[in-house]
Structure 1
């Protein structure tokens, strides 16, 4: 195999014999075919890149799954399969690598009976001096909340004010967010989303709270048990008050299929007490971010249907029970998880400013979104916080605190 200038004529058998003679190479030591390499003049050097892949990407390609680059023009390249996200970095190759279509190797260049040497031309498609290596990484979802908030649903009466350019379909989110489909679907589960005319619309908290109150008021007027909720009857009564896609999204969030059924064997549903009580608590906290403990619990209990029972544990992720030494009383203090920074370092710094010491149960709702694989809540706290023990209980605080 030899590399020649394309401007010259193709090597002949005579040329090959002369070169072998000058190189003092016995022709009998070589296979019977000589392939001459020529660089292509009309090829575009950016047509191909050399990408190193791991076993997962290789299997995805072989199985015909989606493997794509995602993000906007100003973003660093990110490679996504259906379930994983990879960052890409360019690396140099110590020796140039050639991409040569139809190049014959080993036995393919040897005839069973050698009668004469053959000379064939091979065109070099591209010369690589670098390649791209991949490394699995967390998806970049920092902008998801911002993108969804820009077009949140605030009622049909406000739809004329929505800029259509801010609306996001599933396909648009796929192309702009640097994450796999599986990870994006998982992230969307943290939001209350309604599919309205093919667009994914974040339902504003005001609409969510108002709609849930309508639904629970209707439930309270019936003789149903918690696990005997009739979806069709509920919507029929409230269809003039709640837009159907919004009703479906909220009903899905706050209920689950019951073990009981209607007379025609169609399903009944069960309200999730924890979720319903937690949202009612958020409504109260929005009106009064700091409330004396007993007063809050009494108001909370009055605001929920008779067959639901608010519990302090339902406040996890939305409020804290703290002791006010100046007033000598316990208080419920609003602390919504969604309002905290999206960076684990900044989030923990803010949490430790709010409260110096936390138990695992107290802090878990605020950092669980940063867990992945073996990096669970305990592992995160071991890495980013300091552990101390008081009265047999473990507490976590700032690594640089007292």
Structure 2
């Protein structure tokens, strides 16, 4: 039913509102003949996401049937949560906001808007960590062990393109690509492959031996000579990939060189030594470790944060492999696992294993306050579980 101007004025009088105090355009609402409450979902976006959509970008909802859905922009991941509201939200495609109405109109007018639907809840977005643990598992299904493994071993072999991974991993494109770098994955014939650890160490050993024979400093390794000398042994793409994973490229007099990263090489060498041992005598390990790295490099225990854990309470002191990437992604499960391994932790020991759990503005201290209890033993602050462990 359409209202006339006279009916609108009469309604304003009953409401004791003066026409002079209002805008000259009145919008009358009516339910559409195709009114529905199931075809529309509302989502609350922050300014950054709004601008991304307005600039032609897109938002993608990712997750398998068993996953809690997340929404991804080009570089961020958000949890999707339903937020209820006590106010009924009306969906009106043709409704105008005050700033869209004429403000200098002299005559009083009435316009009509149809209500297409309503909602009593909306999707609320909360920034969250990308869920990347599954990525390594997928890539290890067919780890690259050399040229003979390019095509896989049979019909059941699964290889993944970027699009394949985006369809299965709950992460934005930028976060996925960054983690592929962390895993030292590379693209071979359009498919992402993660190098078998032994094969990766074989490549690094080739480079180390060449450095030794040429008497090179690890801070100035010739990319050209590496490809010339090692190309007959391994694919040039793999030699270059190894140099890029463990070094930083620079150009000098028109030639490409690599400055190898001391910490990365010491770290991966330690992983090689520890991966087949349950526990290693600490002093013996440090001696063997130093002898195993290229000449000129110095090993330090702080290079092993998030990779190995030192047990100072045992006699003799020991060290064993404990990788952050092998721990649960869920925060509570991560703490349960850590406190299951060791009842009490010093902050310096536990920090590397929970650093990745911190939100954008969250500190390690805040995380420990929420999930652990603190006590002081012999002047040292230690943390233990807030809840009993089964």
Which residue number in structure 2 is paired with residue 240 of structure 1? 232
Instruction: Determine if contact 1:95/1:129 at 8 Å carries over to the other structure.
Output: yes
Return the alpha-carbon distance in structure 1 between the equivalents of residues 353 and 346 of structure 2. Answer: 12
Choose from 206, 212, 215 the match for 2:198. Answer: 206
Q: Give the alignment partner of residue 274 of structure 2, picking from 274, 285, 288.
A: 285
- TM-score w.r.t. length of structure 1: 0.77
Residue 240 (structure 1) shift: 3.4
User: 1:195 maps to what in 2?
Assistant: 187
SS of match in other structure, 1:332: strand
Q: CA deviation at 1:102?
A: 7.3
Q: CA RMSD in A?
A: 3.9
CA distance in 1, matches of 2:323, 2:93: 59
Confirm or deny that 1:97 pairs with 2:78: no
Tell me the residue number matched to 2:122. 132
Q: Does 1:358 align with 2:351?
A: no
1:306 and 2:295 correspond: yes
Alignment gaps of 5+ in structure 1: 5-10
**Correspondence for 1:68:** 60
The whole-number CA distance in structure 2 between the counterparts of 1:59 and 1:101 is 22
Question: Is the partner of 2:319 in helix, strand or coil?
Answer: strand
Output the CA distance in 2 between the equivalents of 1:256 and 1:34.
64
- Pair 1:225 & 2:217 matched: yes
Q: 1:296-323 CA deviation, whole Å, 9 max, x = no partner?
A: 2332233222222323333333323325
How is 1:1-400 mapped onto 2 (pairs within 5 angstroms)? 4=1, 37=30, 39-41=32-34, 48-72=40-64, 75-86=67-78, 87-89=80-82, 91=84, 94-95=87-88, 97-101=90-94, 112=106, 126-138=116-128, 139-158=130-149, 159-161=151-153, 166-257=158-249, 262=252, 264-322=253-311, 328-399=315-386
Q: CA shift at 1:234, angstroms?
A: 1.2
Q: Report what 1:8 is aligned to.
A: none
CA contact (8 A) 1:50 1:128 kept: no
- Contact 1:291 1:331 (C-alpha < 8 Å) held by counterparts: yes
Q: CA deviation at 1:75?
A: 4.3
Secondary structure at the aligned position of 2:259 is classed as strand
Distance 1:208 1:255 in 2: 14
Q: Cα offset for 1:55? A: 2.6
Structure 2: state its 5+ residue gaps.
none
Using the TM superposition, give the Cα deviation of residue 194 of structure 1 relative to its aligned residue in structure 2, in angstroms: 0.5
Q: Distance in 1 between matches of 2:25 and 2:359?
A: 57
Q: 1-side partners of 2:339 and 2:327: how far apart?
A: 12
1 CA distance for matches of 2:357 and 2:12? 66
- Report the alpha carbon displacement of residue 23 of structure 1 after superposing the two structures with TM: 8.2
Q: Is the 8 A contact 1:151 1:162 kept in 2?
A: no
Alpha-carbon displacement from aligned partner over 1:344-401 (angstroms, at most 9, x marks no partner): 3333333333333333332222222212323222332233223333454433333458
Helix, strand or coil for the counterpart of 1:352? Answer: helix
Contact 1:89 1:134 in 2 (8 A): yes
Decide whether the 8 Å contact of 2:347 with 2:383 is kept in 1: yes
TM-score in terms of structure 2 length: 0.79
Q: 1:312 and 1:302 mapped to 2: Cα distance?
A: 15
